[in-house]
């Protein structure tokens, strides 16, 4: 097939193999053996990532299951919840199951989060990303180091979940909306292994505390935020893995 045919093919109107509706221009979502429209894709599990390798039959089954899940949400009652401005975990400890909403201010029936049984969880752990950059200042038209040098450390905390659920296999749930920053002044902290970065930074600050009071207060608050979300992640994992 020539390039022209490929382009023409992309603009050709197709039919959705799931709902039978017409697929608009460039709105086609490929399946392994057919086509799917955007509206039908929206009905799939929020954590589902394997659409292109799913057959028309598998997608039909999933959409049927999704409607049952939406019904079952009416009987879902959390006994405890975790989450601030990002992922919201609703956990029903009595019936040993949970759901995760992407944010707290969404309609649960619209998002239709998959109900996951505790026993379906294979792996669940606090996950984190860490990076640091030196902050510089403009002096005589050049970016130069502060004296002593300043660094900005960036943390993001997640709960990583791997399950046996047929459609919600794996997800990394962010625990806060904005990256957390910690600011230090002094030598460069030695490169840290990701998961130890927060402890390393705390030890580092024992050696090189901020010089003035206001910076000390700010850094304490920044570290507190990091520990708050790290502990929240641990608590979520404990509640589900030991529940
Ligand atoms: Zn459709």
Neighbours of ion ligand 1 (CB under 5 A): 16, 18-19, 21, 37, 40
Q: Say how many Å lie between the CA of residue 142 and the centre of ligand 1.
A: 57
- Can you point out the beta strands (E) in the chain? 14-15, 22-23, 29-31, 34-36, 80-82, 88-92, 97-101, 116-117, 121-139, 142-163, 170-174, 180-185
Q: Say how many Å lie between the CA of residue 54 and the centre of ligand 1.
A: 15
Q: Say how many Å lie between the CA of residue 100 and the centre of ligand 1.
A: 26
Helix axis angle for 197-207 and 213-241, nearest 10°, is 150
pTM of the model: 0.88
Q: Give the model confidence (pLDDT) of 94-143 as tens digits.
A: 999 999 999 999 999 999 999 999 999 999 999 999 999 999 999 999 99
Q: Give the model confidence (pLDDT) of 179-209 as tens digits.
A: 999 999 988 887 766 668 899 999 999 999 9
Q: Say how many Å lie between the CA of residue 42 and the centre of ligand 1.
A: 9
For the chain, report the end-to-end CA distance as a whole number of angstroms. 56
pLDDT at 27: 85
pLDDT at 7: 61
Which residues neighbour 87 within 8 Å (Cβ) at sequence distance 6 or greater? 100, 101, 102, 103, 159, 173, 174, 175
Q: Say how many Å lie between the CA of residue 55 and the centre of ligand 1.
A: 14
For 48, 81, 109, 137, 161, the CA distances from 67, given in Å and listed in that order, are 15, 24, 10, 56, 23
Q: Say how many Å lie between the CA of residue 40 and the centre of ligand 1.
A: 4
Q: Say how many Å lie between the CA of residue 48 and the centre of ligand 1.
A: 17
Q: Say how many Å lie between the CA of residue 119 and the centre of ligand 1.
A: 33
Q: Say how many Å lie between the CA of residue 238 and the centre of ligand 1.
A: 40
Among 93, 118, 114, residue whose Cα is nearest residue 46: 114
Residue 180 to residue 212: CA distance in whole angstroms: 22
pLDDT at 10: 59
88 pLDDT higher than 70: yes
Q: Say how many Å lie between the CA of residue 37 and the centre of ligand 1.
A: 4
Using an 8 Å Cβ cutoff, are 41 and 31 in contact?
A: no
Tell the residue number behind the tokens 């909403």, with chain if given.
101
pLDDT at 67: 97
Q: Say how many Å lie between the CA of residue 5 and the centre of ligand 1.
A: 25
């Amino acid at each position: 097939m020539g390039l022209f045919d490929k382009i023409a093919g992309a603009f050709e109107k197709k039919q959705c193999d799931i709902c039978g509706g017409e697929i608009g221009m460039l709105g086609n979502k490929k399946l392994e053996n057919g086509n799917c429209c955007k509206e039908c894709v929206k009905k799939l599990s929020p954590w589902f990532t394997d659409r292109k390798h799913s057959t028309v039959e598998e997608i039909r089954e999933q959409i049927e299951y999704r409607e049952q899940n939406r019904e079952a949400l009416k009987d879902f009652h959390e006994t405890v919840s975790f989450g601030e401005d990002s992922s919201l975990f609703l956990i029903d400890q009595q019936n040993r199951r949970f759901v995760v909403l992407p944010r707290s201010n969404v309609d649960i029936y619209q998002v239709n989060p998959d109900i996951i049984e505790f026993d379906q969880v294979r792996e669940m752990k606090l996950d984190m990303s860490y990076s640091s950059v030196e902050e510089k200042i403009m002096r005589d038209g050049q970016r130069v180091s502060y004296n002593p040098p300043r660094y900005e450390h960036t943390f993001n905390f997640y709960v990583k979940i791997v399950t046996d659920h047929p459609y919600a296999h794996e997800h990394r749930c962010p625990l806060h909306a904005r990256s957390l920053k910690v600011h230090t002044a002094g030598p460069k902290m030695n490169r840290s292994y990701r998961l130890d970065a927060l402890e390393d930074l705390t030890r580092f600050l024992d050696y090189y505390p901020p010089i003035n009071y206001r910076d000390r207060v700010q850094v304490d608050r920044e570290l507190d935020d990091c520990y708050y979300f790290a502990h929240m992640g641990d608590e979520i994992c404990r509640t589900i893995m030991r529940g």
